Amino acid sequence: MRKGWILFIGLLIIGIFFIIELTKPPILEDAQHFSSGLAGVKVKGKYGFIDKTGKLVIKPRYEEVSYFYGEFASVKIDERWGVIDKQGKMILAPSFDEIWPYGDDLFRVREKMKYGLVDKQGQYVLAPIYDEFNYGTEGLNLFKLKGKYGFMKGKEIVIEPKFSRASNFEEGLAAVMINSRWGFIDTMGRMVIEPIYAQVSSFSDGLIHVRINGKEGVINTTGEMVIEPIYDTLYLLGEGLIAVELDKKWGYIDTSGKMVIEPIYTFTHGFEEGLAPVVYEGKWGYINKIGKMVIPAKFDRAREFRRGLGEINVAGKWGYINKAGEIMIEPIYNDLTDLGNGLIRVDLDYKWGYIDETGKNIIAPIYDEIDYFNEQGLTKMRMGDLWGIINDKGTIVVQPKYEEIELFYGEERALVRKNGKYGIIDTTGKTIIEPIYDEMTKFYDGVAAVKANERWMYIDQTGKVVIP
């Protein structure tokens, strides 16, 4: 009788431990962010998926998993990829080298270095025989078969693969190559511009830059030669003028081909705000649209005007002039980047800061590195090995004390690393989540995956552990 009780109690204890083990949350060895309500996690060496309560809704049996894209995720078994739905049902058996969603109902697959399309029933819409298969434009997808390019609409070949090279459609035309020469076809596959050109460009205001017999010219979208190919080099630059090179000198023609500025310059850029930087007798200056040198050629380098200011270089240093040629910002900087919002990022003796368009220091150039401003008017800066946050008025809002900072897009929070650990601060520097984690993702659907003591878990935006 006594032995029976001992056996009963022993079995009861074993049962209790078994139940505890079953109900314990799994130890997460790896964790992805949530997507479509589910997150991929690694348990005992295999990947499955949990929901937002932490319940394993798809058992861990996969070597690798993708995020869920809508209703589907890619999974890997025995080095082969397949597709499951959100219930864990295998939609496509793992038999592919690679697999990606393709629209709402199809998947692009790769087998033995060939591409095809498969539907949700596992039936081939396109057999895996294609060398390339890509999203296209204007409803037509570019593909490559047996070394030749063609175009498909859905699963139907509408333009046979017969081109050695091809581009996507633009304004109803696609550049194609036959016998090492470029021409253009329409969306029906008709050759509307014969393949006679060694090079062609993309469209610019209905014009196409072409090269033939070693010279360059311009055609329109019907193939009509608008500018005869007589130039060594040609650039469609905008503001109604085209830069051309003839006998190693540059000038400008209009869109009818008429020479409006004689080719006397060593080099040129495009016109902006009515002026173009040019090289004349070894120095850069600016000409207007009738070819008059309105700012003398005396600079070592020059760039186009923006909002009334032109970048000029003197003895390796950059500054700004106005349209009268007057120095507005002294050329003392190693580098300048005009952000277009009234602020200019500058490098002064390898220290970074910001000035305004008058040259006034907004953020003194004392930082070893400084990033661009976000939509909240904040950026990160580095002094030595440590990062902080500064605003566009030059006020330091977070002192440089972190090894890493990543500002969240559209939010007044940042991911930080301190003493090798990750946490979250707001943009006033207040700690929201203490930096105690070895790894940390961004927040998705209100939660972030974090790693501590070799274990992953999920926290909410207050730092509370919601999935242990």
Under 8 Å between Cβ of 459 and 452 = no
Looking at the predicted structure, is the pLDDT value of residue 248 above 70? Answer: yes
DSSP string of 423-459, one letter each residue = EEEETTS-EEEEEEESEEPPPBTTEEEEEETTEEEEE
Looking at the predicted structure, is the pLDDT value of residue 4 above 60? Answer: no
Looking at the predicted structure, is the pLDDT value of residue 362 above 70? Answer: yes
Which residues on neighbouring strands pair with residue 448, listed in sequence order? 459
More confident residue, 410 or 297: 297
Looking at the predicted structure, is the pLDDT value of residue 304 above 50? Answer: yes
Q: Distance between CA atoms of 277 and 265, rounded to whole angstroms?
A: 10
- Tens of pLDDT, residue by residue over 185-213, are 999 999 999 999 999 997 888 899 999 99
The token pair that represents 363 in the structure block: 């953020």
Q: Determine the average pLDDT of the residues in 423-445.
A: 93
Q: Distance between CA atoms of 191 and 173, rounded to whole angstroms?
A: 9
| pLDDT band per the 50, 70, 90 thresholds, residue 16 | very low
Sign of CA dihedral 193, 195, 196, 202: positive
Count the alpha carbons within 13 Å of 62 in the hemisphere toward its beta carbon: 24
Q: Distance between CA atoms of 330 and 312, rounded to whole angstroms?
A: 10
Number of Cβ within a 10 Å radius of residue 437: 23
Number of Cβ within a 10 Å radius of residue 426: 14
DSSP H or E run through 114: strand 114-119
Q: Which of 303-308's residues contact partners 24+ apart within 8 Å by CB, and which partners?
A: 303/269, 303/277, 304/269, 304/270, 304/271, 304/272, 304/273, 304/275, 304/276, 304/277, 305/272, 305/273, 305/275, 306/272, 306/273, 306/338, 306/340, 307/338, 307/340, 307/357, 308/273
What are the angstrom distances between the C-alpha of 285 and each of 235, 241, 335, 422? 19, 18, 19, 52
Percent of the chain with pLDDT over 90: 82
Write b or e for each residue in 21-55: b if 16 or more Cβ atoms lie within 10 A of its Cβ, otherwise e.
eeeeebebbebbbbbeebbbbbbeebbbbbeeebe
Q: Among 74, 124, 16, 27, which Cα is nearest to 467's? A: 27
Q: Determine the average pLDDT of the residues in 145-171.
A: 94
Q: Distance between CA atoms of 247 and 334, rounded to whole angstroms?
A: 34
pLDDT for res 257? 93
CB contact set of 178 (below 8 Å; sequence gap of 6+): 162, 163, 164, 195
Looking at the predicted structure, is the pLDDT value of residue 396 above 70? Answer: yes
Distance from the Cα of residue 242 to its chain's centroid: 30
Q: Distance between CA atoms of 350 and 368, rounded to whole angstroms?
A: 7
Most confident of 118-132, 175-189, 203-217, 224-238: 175-189
Residue type, 65: V
Looking at the predicted structure, is the pLDDT value of residue 327 above 60? Answer: yes
pLDDT for res 408? 84
Q: Determine the average pLDDT of the residues in 209-229.
A: 96
Sign of CA dihedral 277, 280, 283, 285: negative
Percent of the chain with pLDDT over 70: 95
- Tens of pLDDT, residue by residue over 119-134, are 988 899 999 999 998 8
Question: What size, in residues, is the chain?
Answer: 468
* Region for 180 from its dihedrals, namely left if φ exceeds 0, alpha if ψ lies in -120 to 50, beta otherwise: left
SS3 annotation, 151-197: EEECCEEEEEEEECEECCCECCEEEEEECCEEEEEECCCCEEEEEEE
Looking at the predicted structure, is the pLDDT value of residue 23 above 60? Answer: no
The mean predicted confidence, pLDDT, of the chain is 92
What is the pTM for the complete model shown?
0.81
pLDDT for res 300? 98
Q: Distance between CA atoms of 302 and 308, rounded to whole angstroms?
A: 14
Q: Determine the average pLDDT of the residues in 163-175.
A: 95
Looking at the predicted structure, is the pLDDT value of residue 15 above 70? Answer: no
